[in-house]
Structure 1
Amino acid sequence: MTRLRIDLAYDGGGFYGWATQPHIRTVQGTIEAALHKLLRVPDHDPDEPLRLVVAGRTDTGVHASHQVCHLDIDESTLARAVGHMKVPAVTALEHRLQRLLPTDIAIHRVSVAPDGFDARFSALERTYVYRIADRASEVDPRLRGCVLHIDDTLDLDAMNRAAAMTLGLHDFGSFATPNPGGTTIREVKRAAWTRVPSRPLVPARDDVATHGTGDARDAARVCGDATGGYVTPTLESGLVCFTIVADAFARNMVRSLVNACVAVGIGKRDLDWFAGKMAVPKREGSTGPIAPQGLTLEHVAYPPDDELASRAEAIRAVRTLP
């Protein structure tokens, strides 16, 4: 058997999450169906299940700009991907799979995984970003599928004080649901709210930027004027973004933390309430998840190749708090 690493991205808006479920469209189910078709393997073949193992399962409507999964496949089955292409089997699989998949899934790369690699258990950390357009932002309807719009101005200072409480090893039972036999204990390495600066994508004309007065140069750089021309901002200019990095995440953990921080940011809840939720890891109605469309899995980090197996072995152990 050969283990392949697959790096990919997807727009989660048209999927009921990652994990395969009968009779509904999921990311895993769509890719596995394409693999069965491409490699001419019957569905539910016990000898060649073509089962994907993913770094982090995403919920319904959640996106991934860089997800990672692995696939164990027999070498003779993999060879079927070549067909008339004069390239290695792994390269052929990458090209054919991308052409067969729908446009809301993109394959970045297919490669032979190093010894000891496990997409889920070898991962050191995952990075998620949640994007919000609040009242202080300019709402761009083109981003409605990946940005949540709220009709309030968010207090980022208060939200960052709340987010700082999540750093370190904690039981996030107030914000997450454990897997069967698992826990909600996780180690958060970074959690911060920022507003994306308004950066020009197309700068002002050189004559204004170079020769104009200080005020004129500033205006031209930020929003343009009749002399300097319109300055096109980047798509994310002005958005509020929550970036969180942890060794792993329990179900609904990120979206529930975002919802709690937003409640603090609009003044609906205070920091003492958030601290109480961190201190008493008990799930109840006030800490449910926020809407999914603003959330994207951005990155999965792995250790050096010679540490992959030991990392996978260590992370399989059920964690406890000191």
Structure 2
Amino acid sequence: MSDEVEPGFVRVRLDLSYDGAEFSGWAKQAGGRRTVQGEIEDALRTVTRSKETYELTVAGRTDAGVHARGQVAHVDLPAEVWAEHADKLLRRLAGRLPKDVRVWRVAEAPYGFNARFSAIWRRYAYRVTDHHGGVDPLLRSHVLWHDWELDVDAMNEASRPLLGEHDFAAYCKRREGATTIRTLQELSWERGADGIITATVRADAFCHNMVRSLVGAMLFVGDGHRAPDWPGKVLAAGVRDSAVHVVRPHGLTLEEVGYPADALLMARNQEARNKRTLPGAGCC
């Protein structure tokens, strides 16, 4: 499948961040709900004085309440609109956008770039505290309070068998026609000097609720309710386990999206559109 930009248009990359607390997720929705995509598209239409809304494509469609520090999107703008507004676009967006979403960089994208399909990994962080007193009020919208003490070593032990390419059906909300095969590149836990425990979760892509489900399973291990081998057994079973709790969204932040060298962008773009199967599995 080709992803050539239409003649007369320029593909523009946007690097952005947002506090997800007051958003109903990234993607536009019916019913007038407030979304990140909707706010940015409205702002773009206003500052470029366009009658048409130019649709954004995003690297990771975050759910309601999920934050982003390193989100990436692209938009195809008419060449004349880009030529007129390129130098002023960033400052004008800053003046038009609400304070809980910011665009930090606007630039013409290299050939073959697609914010979603060219990405080779997404890195999320989930932050949780087990402090007996709860969460610092200044961090309450970004850190989950877990009211059982957590064993970080046990959570790291439980995380290791999940690394690599697997079918994560047991940790995903299934979507019709979508594969649940993913390559989990990193799942690690570290307690900071402030007592906040941060999970770093990186994969080539994530299926719906995957990060929050993985975190929920590891918290069950960390607080002693399950043994370290339990998350791996759940993965192998391949079905949703009622004991795997999808943790609340506010502790989750999309930190960074990785892309290959410019010369490899189109190849990655096309490769990522192929539906994957595990070795030895049927294709359909």
Cα displacement (A) at 1:270: 2.2
- Alignment check: 8 A CA contact 1:178 1:184 kept: yes
Deviation of 1:106 after TM superposition, in Å, equals 1.1
Matched, 1:21 2:29: yes
Q: Say yes or no: does 1:192 pair with 2:188.
A: yes
Report the Cα distance in structure 2 between the residues aligned to 1:39 and 1:280, rounded to whole angstroms.
52
1:137–1:109 CA distance, 2 compared to 1 (3 A): farther
Structure 2 Cα separation of the partners of residues 138 and 289 of structure 1: 20
3-state SS, counterpart of residue 183 of structure 2: strand
Which whole-Å CA distance do the structure 2 matches of 1:165 and 1:278 have between them? 9
Kindly report the root-mean-square deviation, in angstroms, between the aligned alpha carbons of the 2 structures: 1.5
Aligned twin of 1:55: 59
Report what 1:208 is aligned to.
none
Secondary structure of the 1:165 match is helix
What secondary structure does 1:95 align onto? Answer: helix
Query: When the two structures are superposed, what TM-score results if normalisation uses the length of structure 1?
Result: 0.81
TM-aligned CA distance change 1:277 to 1:136, over 3 Å: same
Tell me the residue number matched to 1:283: 240
Q: Distance in 2 between the 1:274 and 1:238 partners?
A: 24
Does residue 1:70 correspond to 2:38, yes or no?
Answer: no
Is 2:143 the counterpart of 1:135? Answer: no
CA distance in 2, matches of 1:260, 1:138: 21
1:290-305 equivalences under 5 Å are: 290-305=247-262
| Amino acid in structure 1 at the alignment position of 2:166 | H
**C-alpha separation in 1, matches of 2:38 and 2:238:** 34
Cα deviation, residue 288, structure 1: 3.6
Q: Which amino acid letter does the alignment assign opposite residue 39 of structure 1?
A: T
Q: d(CA) in 2 for partners of 1:16 and 1:285?
A: 25
User: Hey, what does 1:3 align to over in structure 2?
Assistant: 11
Q: What is the CA deviation profile of residues 122-175 of structure 1, one whole-angstrom value per residue up to 9, with x for unaligned ones?
A: 001010000011126873210001111121110111111111121000111011
Letter matched to residue 95 of structure 2 = R
Q: Determine if the alignment matches structure 1 residue 261 to structure 2 residue 265.
A: no
Of residues 92, 95, 117 in structure 1, which corresponds to 2:88?
Answer: 92
- In the aligned structure 2, how far is the partner of 1:157 from the partner of 1:136? 20
Q: TM-score, normalised to structure 2's length?
A: 0.91
Contact 2:135–2:144 under 8 Å retained in 1: no
**Is the Cα–Cα contact under 8 Å of residues 134 and 147 in structure 2 kept in the other structure?**
no
What residue in structure 2 maps to residue 230 of structure 1? none
Match of residue 199, structure 2, among 242, 260, 266: 242
What residue in structure 2 maps to residue 164 of structure 1? 160
Aligned to 1:86: none
Q: May I ask how many residue pairs the two structures share in their alignment? A: 270
Question: Is 2:209 the partner of 1:252?
Answer: yes
Deviation at 1:78, TM superposition (A): 2.9
Please report how far the alpha carbon of residue 177 of structure 1 lies from its aligned counterpart in structure 2 after TM superposition: 2.2
The question of 1:309 aligning with 2:266 is answered yes
Bigger mean CA deviation after superposition, 118-127 or 29-38: 29-38
Query: What is the CA–CA distance in structure 1 between the aligned matches of 2:160 and 2:132, rounded to whole Å?
Result: 23
Supply the distance in 2 between the matched residues of 1:301 and 1:110 (Cα, whole angstroms): 17
Q: Which ranges in structure 1 are unaligned for 5 or more consecutive residues?
A: 83-88, 199-236
CA distance in 1, matches of 2:170, 2:157: 18
Q: Does 1:119 align with 2:115?
A: yes
Equivalent AA in structure 1 for residue 88 of structure 2: A
Structure index of larger Rg: 1
Q: 2:40 aligns with which of 25, 31, 35?
A: 31
| Residues 286 and 91 of structure 1, relative CA distance in 2, 3 Å threshold | farther
Residue 146 in 1 paired to residue 142 in 2? yes
2:158 touches 2:229 (CA, 8 Å); kept in 1? no
CA shift, 1:275, in A, is: 2.1
Give the % identical residues: 47
Q: 1:161 to 1:308 in 2, by over 3 A?
A: same
Distance 1:138 1:282 in 2: 33
